[in-house]
Amino acid sequence: MIFTATTLKDAYVIDLELREDNRGAFARTFCAKDFEAHGLKPTVAQCNLSYNYKAGTLRGMHYQIPPAAETKLVRCTKGAIYDVIIDMRPDSPTYLQHFGVELTEDNHRALYIPELFAHGYQALTDGAEVVYQVGEFYTPGYERGLRYDDPAFGIQWPMPVTVISEKDAAWPLFEAVPA
**Catalytic residue list:** 62, 132
3 within 8 A of 14, measured Cβ to Cβ: yes
d(CA 175, CA 105): 36
| Interior angle at CA 40, CA 39 and CA 41, nearest 5 | 125
Classify the C-alpha dihedral 110-114-115-120 as positive or negative.
negative
CB neighbourhood size of 57 (10 A): 21
1 within 8 A of 96, measured Cβ to Cβ: no
The amino acid that residue 78 corresponds to is: K
d(CA 50, CA 42): 21
Nearest to 71 by CA among 110, 42, 98: 42
Nearest to 47 by CA among 171, 176, 137: 137
